[in-house]
Amino acid sequence: MASPEPSQSVLITVAGEDRAGITAKLTTVIAEAGVNISDMEQVVVRGLLSLSIVLDFPPGAAQAQPVLKDLLFAAKEMGLELNFKVLPPHGTNDLAKRYSSVVTLIGHDHVSAASISQIATAISGCGFNIETIQHMDQDRVRCLELVVSSPEADGAARLKSVLLPVGRSFDVDIALQPNTVFRRIKRLVVFDLDSTLIQTEIIDELAAAAGKADQVRALTRRTMEGGLDFRKSLVRRVRMLKGLPEAILEEVYQGLPFTPGAKDLIRVLQRLGYRTAVISGGFNYFTDRIKNAFGLDYAFGNRLEIKDGLVTGKIIEPVIDGQGKAAILCDIARTEHIHLDQVIAIGDGANDLPMLQMAGLGIAFNARPAVQEAAEHSLSQTRLDAILFLLGITQEDVTALQAEL
């Protein structure tokens, strides 16, 4: 018995000035002709419409000519340009599984045409196809989201190794994530405090008040870069704070410089139903106050021993180090019945790496070079709310959410 003749597919492309009713009119013509739509995509850029529709006709395509004629007439009435192309029959390659990833490009001021060209060339060179491109901000091209796909399951790792050097050469942050449902349904965000939610290291500020600024800053820098054991370094640095009046802690808290965009990021994520937490290798004196100020759900920090209004120079056990941060993150997720793939963790130091690697989306924010290299994702941005772009949240979305707050 002979195989049945395959159906015929025709791609309709429509372009012109966008206005209400275009899609309704064209799909009505198609529906009245009894023709099936097998694929459809529409985008509007600066008020100009680009609409693509794939029509499927039965073998012989006897009704193709009348409906195409009617569509051409309808498009002309609306001042639109319409073209069509007969597509080749589906082959076996059309049905092959493709692995989809999301590439997010974030520039400091804008993403240049040169960087887009080089990035697109790298994507193509790695055997990936760009399926969609979305402009994430309103005023200028500072962030683009590209959905790309490849027939190779391990292609994303190779693509990332090629893209990151290109991004660095153009001062563009690049994040590559699997295009799965977990990317769109995150439920918990966990922040480091020092040099993440705030733009300083609190222990350095306390040391300055105690007259030990240079010694403590040097130790802090080496610790955050991974050159010193966190626990031993913390004990050593806290010992230098002995005799510091408790009142100084309040003065330091009142002067904390919050990272631009931190409050906006937290408000937006809370509006979207996220649970929020700060987990710090610093001190609970500060994390507890920030929890109250931001309305966070959880706050954890090391406990400074204070007696008779003075810092004793000792830490109350247990000490929260890098592994402790990761363990607390897991405890919160377990308590909230949240899958680890639905967790975002943000930090800058070596002691944050276990937490970043545990979370579904771990982000090294303005981190030390060694931390950037070890983290899955890294951003070097002036505003913390740039992280929203990695979640597929556009500037337009943020503006709408902030209007409701």
- pLDDT per residue as tens digits for the range 31-80: 998 888 999 999 988 899 999 999 988 766 555 678 899 999 999 999 99
Dig out the tokens for 367 from the structure. 């981190």
Collapsed DSSP state (helix, strand, coil) of residue 267:
helix
- The CATH 3.30.70.260 portion of the chain extends over 8-93, 97-179
Total number of residues shown for the chain: 405
Give 183's Cβ-side CA count (13 Å radius).
19
Q: Enumerate residues 6+ apart whose C-beta is below 8 A from 237.
A: 203, 207, 216, 219, 220
Of the residues 18, 137, 194, 348, only one is catalytic, namely 194
269: region left, alpha or beta (phi > 0 left; psi from -120 to 50 alpha): alpha
What span, in angstroms and rounded, lies between the C-alpha atoms of 184 and 199? 29
* pLDDT for res 61: 53
Percent of the chain exceeding pLDDT 70 equals: 94
* pLDDT for res 173: 97
* pLDDT for res 94: 53
Residue 318, preceding bond cis, omega within 30 degrees?
A: yes
Q: Any catalytic annotation for residue 194?
A: yes
Q: Highest mean pLDDT: which of 57-71, 126-140, 302-316?
A: 302-316
pLDDT tens readout for residues 233-263? 999 999 999 999 999 999 999 999 999 999 9
What rounded mean pLDDT belongs to the chain?
Answer: 92
Percent of the chain exceeding pLDDT 90 equals: 80
What span, in angstroms and rounded, lies between the C-alpha atoms of 225 and 228? 8
Q: What is the CATH number of domain 97-179?
A: 3.30.70.260
> At CA 28, angle to CA 90 and CA 47, rounded to 5?
85
Residue 272, pLDDT > 60, answer yes
Residue 382, pLDDT > 50, answer yes
What span, in angstroms and rounded, lies between the C-alpha atoms of 352 and 334? 19
* pLDDT for res 297: 98
pLDDT tens readout for residues 157-215? 999 999 999 999 999 999 999 999 888 899 999 999 999 999 999 999 999 999 999 99
What span, in angstroms and rounded, lies between the C-alpha atoms of 164 and 176? 9
Query: Architecture of 188-404 per CATH?
Result: 3-Layer(aba) Sandwich (3.40)
Contact 149, 100 (CB under 8 A): yes
From 137, 156, 131, 133, select the one nearest 145 (Cα to Cα).
133
Question: Facing residues of 264 across strands?
Answer: none
Q: Any catalytic annotation for residue 192?
A: yes
> At CA 214, angle to CA 213 and CA 216, rounded to 5?
70
Q: Enumerate residues 6+ apart whose C-beta is below 8 A from 302.
A: 234, 280, 281, 282, 283, 284, 315, 316, 319, 320
Of the residues 18, 192, 352, 385, only one is catalytic, namely 192
What span, in angstroms and rounded, lies between the C-alpha atoms of 41 and 54? 9
Residue 6, pLDDT > 60, answer no
- Residue 291 backbone phi and psi in degrees, to 5: -55, -45
Q: Tokens 């402009």 identify what position?
A: 135
Q: Enumerate residues 6+ apart whose C-beta is below 8 A from 334.
A: none
- The CATH 3.40.50.1000 portion of the chain extends over 188-404
Q: Superfamily for 8-93?
A: ACT domain (3.30.70.260)
